[in-house]
Amino acid sequence: MVETNDLPRRMFALGHEPVGLRVSPYHKPGALGHIIDSLEEGEIEVLKRSHFGRFLELADKTPYSGRLGRYMLSRQLKVCKKYEAWFLFSENPIRFSLREFAIVTGLPCGKYPKQPQKEEKKMISEQPVLKRKTITDQDARIKYACLAILAYVILPTTHVPKILFEHAEKIRELDEFFAYPWGQISFEMLMSSIKERDEVALTQSTIALQGYVQSLQMVMTKAVPGLTELVRQDSPTDAAGDDDGDFAFPPSKNGIKPAHARTLEAADNVRVTLIIQPDTDFEIKEDCLFFSDDEDDDSVDKMVSLIRDGARFTKKMFIGGATSADVKRMREEAEAEALAKKKKEEENPLPNDTNTKTSGR
């Protein structure tokens, strides 16, 4: 018999998951499709034959849904691991790690090659030169497209697309550029954004995450194929978006809504794959998809062992979590602490250069 204390605890208590939260991505939903549309057929073929080829197929997948992102983050399990997140769906824990990220994106996620001595980080802005045909040389256009994909989709850190100068320099050799583990960088950005959000932060109306946020939804739809099946049944009138401004990209397609998830969770015998597997035509090197500095977590190890043994999970197996009252108290405590800190700083200001300089007379 499984002891509930042996398994990870909920982030939020059952029935107290926050609502009204929308996960806003720094990556631009639909940007990948726009970039591809700006290229000539021969240029697209070059990209398709590269390590980015599988990633380009995502332009026609189910559109991004910020509300589904909210739904997932609200149903997190609290784990010690820095590079894993687990989400409950129909009381089944679904894993999101570098392995799952690699499976759904197809991006290179292996180890980093040895780097030369680091220089000062510089940022450059990507310019929309493709659509206007400002650059006509095919090789140059392909390189600009690659940089646009990095800035807008894979490695976004703000709502204004920018890219590190050291990343842009790697475009000199296309083969090396395509093979670089951009997927691992994007995953680390995303995971860091998820892990730094506590219960109070996760109850805000909107939160923004770095990295390729859509990978969360892609893992969920692969783990729970019934979600996509429900979307296909929606009428065309549902395609433009939903009632909180979470528009589907592209707008001609239906997006996944929390209502779809709730419908499935209320149904019997929902098919859920707790640890997804790669497609038969796609091979990943799993021995490279780990982090040597990750934290140990016995509760996660126990959960994985149960999954491999084919255990059936129930609501009673995952306990704990913050209630609405707990979150309110935590917010008040955080606000009081911030106010006390501000008051202390005002009462004991740090000396500035003007006050500490002595007269030269």
Query: So what's the pLDDT on residue 246?
Result: 47
pLDDT of 213 above 80: yes
Mean pLDDT within 69-90? 94
Q: What is the pLDDT of residues 329-351, one digit of tens each?
A: 999 999 999 999 888 888 888 77
Q: Where are the beta strands (DSSP E) in the chain?
A: 9-10, 22-25, 77-78, 84-89, 92-97, 123-125, 162-164, 206-209
322 in Cβ contact with 11 (< 8 Å)? yes
Average pLDDT over the chain, rounded to whole?
84
Q: Is the pLDDT of residue 215 over 70?
A: yes
123 pLDDT higher than 90: no
Which of 53-62, 134-143, 201-210 bottoms out in mean pLDDT, i.e. has the lowest? 53-62
Q: How far apart are CA 254 and CA 247, in angstroms?
A: 9
| Confidence bin at 250 (pLDDT 50/70/90) | very low
Nearest to 313, CA basis, from 164, 156, 92: 92
Distance CA 322, CA 353 (A): 46
pTM reported for the whole predicted model: 0.85
Identify the residue with better confidence: 328 or 163: 328
Q: Is the pLDDT of residue 97 over 90?
A: yes
Choice between 114 and 207, residue whose per-residue pLDDT is larger: 207
CA 68 to chain centre: 12
- pLDDT for 3 equals 65
